[in-house]
Amino acid sequence: MSSAVGFIGIGNMGRPMSRNLAAAGFDVTVFDLNVDAARAHANAHGLTVAETMAGLAACDRIVTMLPDGKAVRAAMLGENGAAPHLAAGTVLIDMSSADPVGTQELGAELAAKGLAMVDAPVSGAVPRAEDGTLTIMVGSDNPALAERARPVLAGMGKEIVHTGPLGSGHAMKALNNYVAATGFAAVSEALIVGQKFGLEPGKMVEIMNTSTGRNFMTDLVMKPHVLDEAFATGFALALLSKDVGIAEDLASSLDMDARLLHTSAVMWREALADLPTGADNSEAYKAWRDRMSGGTT
Ligand code: NAD
C-alpha cells in the first residue's frame, strides 16, 4: 500500500477531513468539480490538486465525500470519471451519506472493473470533522478491505465501527440522521407551541437540557443556531432532507410502514420547498413555524 490517497469532494466536510488526512502523514491529492476551490484548498494546506481524475492514477485508495450516491457514481463511472484511470485493486472509500441499495449496485459494477469499495459515512458534523473525531460506520463485504481502509479512516475519525456488509454503513447513517432530524423537528414544534402559550423558548431549551427531552439538538443546535439566529451549522437542509428520504426509501424497500419516518420525511421536504436554495438545516424551524401559524409569523 502506498501513502497516496485521492480525495474527491472538497466541500464543508471534505476540506477539514482531507487536511487531517495530510496531517496524519498521507500524501493527499484532492479533486472537486469546483477546480478553483480545490486548488485554493490544496495550496493553503500543502496538498496536491488534480485538475482531472487522471491526476488520481497513483492513488490506491480513493475517498469520496460528495453530496449523495448519484454524485459518487458520476465521479467514478460517469463521463470523465475516475475508474478508467485507477489501477486494479484500488479501494473506493465512500464517506458520503448515500443510499445503501445504490451503494451495493455501484460496488458490484466497480468489482467487475477490478476495483473494490467500502462505505464509511460519518457522523459528528463540521466541528468533529475539524477535530478529527468523527464517528465512522464502515460497511464492507471483506474484512481485508476494511483493514486497508482503516488507517485512512483513523486519520479523520475517532470511533470506527464495522457495521456489516457493503451498504450497511450507509443504512446506519441514514437511520441515525432520521433520529437526529426528527429530534430537531420535535424540539422545534415544542418551542413553537410553547412560545404561543407564553413560555420563553430560551428557558424551554435550558429546562429540556436538564430534563428527559434533552438530545443533540437541544444541547448544541437550538440555542446558537435557531434562537440566536446564526443558522450556520455547516450542514445544508438539502443534505439532511436527502438523508431522511434515504431512510424512508430503505423502510419502503423492506415493505415496512414506518409512520413517524414518513411524517418526518414529509416535514423536511416541505421545509426544503419553502426555503431558499442553500438554506442551513436549522432554518427548517422557520418554515415549520410559518406553516404552524398558517403562513404568518
Ligand atoms: P458540500 O455540498 O459542502 O460539498 C460537496 C462537494 O462535492 C462540493 O465541493 C461539490 O463541488 C463537490 N462535488 C459534487 N459533485 C461532484 C462530483 N461529481 N465530482 C467531484 N466533486 C463533486 O457537502 P458536505 O456538507 O461536505 O457533505 C458531503 C457529504 O457528507 C454529504 O453526503 C453529506 O450528507 C455528508 N455529511 C455532511 C455533514 C455536515 O455536517 N455537513 C455531516 C455528516 C455527513
Q: What is the pLDDT of residue 287?
A: 98
Residue 63 has pLDDT above 70, yes or no: yes
Per the annotation, the verdict on 242 as an active-site residue is no
CATH fold match for the domains 4-165 and 171-292: no
- Over the chain, what is the mean pLDDT? 97
Give the per-residue pLDDT at 1: 75
> Is the per-residue pLDDT at 10 higher than 70?
yes
Q: Are 142 and 166 in contact (CB under 8 A)?
A: no
Distance 175 CA to ligand 1 centre (A): 19
Quick one: how far is CA 99 from the chain centroid?
Answer: 11
Query: What's the pLDDT tens digit per position in 100-116?
Result: 999 999 999 999 999 99
Q: How far apart are CA 130 and CA 286, in angstroms?
A: 28
What are the two backbone dihedrals, phi and then psi, of residue 32, each rounded to the nearest 5 degrees?
-145, 150
> Which set of grid coordinates corresponds to residue 284?
427548517
Average pLDDT over residues 12-16: 97
Ligand 1 test: best mutation among 17, 18, 19, 33, most atoms within 8 Å of CB? 33
Closest residue to atom 38 of ligand 1, CA basis: 125
Instruction: Pick 4-165's CATH classification: 3.40.50.1370, 3.40.50.720, 1.10.3720.10, 3.10.20.580.
Output: 3.40.50.720
Pocket of ligand 1 (CB under 6 A): 8-14, 32-34, 65-68, 71, 74-75, 96-97, 122, 125-126, 234-235, 239, 243
What atom of ligand 1 comes closest to residue 15's alpha carbon?
A: 26
Q: What atom of ligand 1 comes closest to residue 134's alpha carbon?
A: 43
Q: What is the pLDDT of residues 185-213, one digit of tens each?
A: 999 999 999 999 999 999 999 999 999 99
Give the CATH H-level superfamily of domain 171-292. N-(1-d-carboxylethyl)-l-norvaline Dehydrogenase; domain 2 (1.10.1040.10)
Position 294 confidence tier, pLDDT thresholds 50, 70, 90: confident
CA 265 to chain centre: 17
Q: Which of 158, 173, 196, 203 is catalytic?
A: 173
Atom of ligand 1 nearest to the CA of 75: 18
Nearest CA, atom 9, ligand 1: 11
pLDDT more than 90, % of the chain: 97
Q: Which of 66, 156, 170 to mutate to test the pocket of ligand 1 (most atoms within 8 A of CB)?
A: 66
Please give the number of the atom of ligand 1 that sits closest to the Cα of 38. Answer: 9
Show the cell assigned to 238.
438539502
Distance in angstroms (rounded) separating the CA atoms of residues 74 and 228: 39
Q: Is the pLDDT of residue 146 over 80?
A: yes
> Where exactly are the structural domains of the chain?
4-165, 171-292
How many angstroms does the Cα of residue 59 sit away from the middle of ligand 1?
21
From residue 140, alpha-carbon distances to 29, 50, 81, 218 in Å are 24, 28, 23, 34
Residue of 159, 53, 24 lying closest to 115 (CA atoms): 53
In this predicted structure, the answer to whether residue 295 has a pLDDT above a threshold of 70 is no
